[in-house]
Amino acid sequence: MKAIKKCMGLEERFKKRAAATKIQAWWHGTLARRTLLHAALRNWIIQCWWGHTVVRLLQRKRRAALITYADRERAVVKLQSLVRMWRIHWRYCQVLNAIYIIQCHWKCQNCQTCALLRGHCIVTADHLQFHIEIINP
């Protein structure tokens, strides 16, 4: 009888040991999955942060490139404007000189009262239009 009891005690111990082994395996698996889940979540957080950081850096680079481009364009437009202004001023000075020369020659003529002088000029950036009419009364 003792041998049978001893045998049953061994079986129970084996069953308890097998059950304990299963519980331990389950617990170790749960700990491993939890650790992997935490590692995956941390990895995901770092990847999201890095993605936002890269986007911010790209936006800063784009903004800097846009500002540089706008500054260059503004400088080019300003330079073109100054060149056009200088060319128009130069043409205007040419017209004034021509008018002064014509007036001087006209005043030197004996026949000042015989005719009237009427004229107009159009100054553009590309050319000079100058019309003089001598009207005899």
Residue pLDDT, tens place only, 24-35:
999 999 999 999
**Taking the model in full, what pTM does it have?**
0.49
pLDDT value for 74: 97
Residues in CB range of 128: below 8 A, 6 or more apart: 91, 94, 95, 121, 122
Query: Residue 111 belongs to what domain range?
Result: 2-135
Residue range 61-103, pLDDT digits in tens: 999 999 999 999 999 999 999 999 998 888 888 888 888 887 7
Give the residue with greater pLDDT, 5 vs 45: 45
Considering its fold, how many domains does the chain have in total? 1
Q: What three-state secondary structure class fits 136? A: coil
3-state helix, strand, coil in the chain (%, to 5): 80, 10, 10
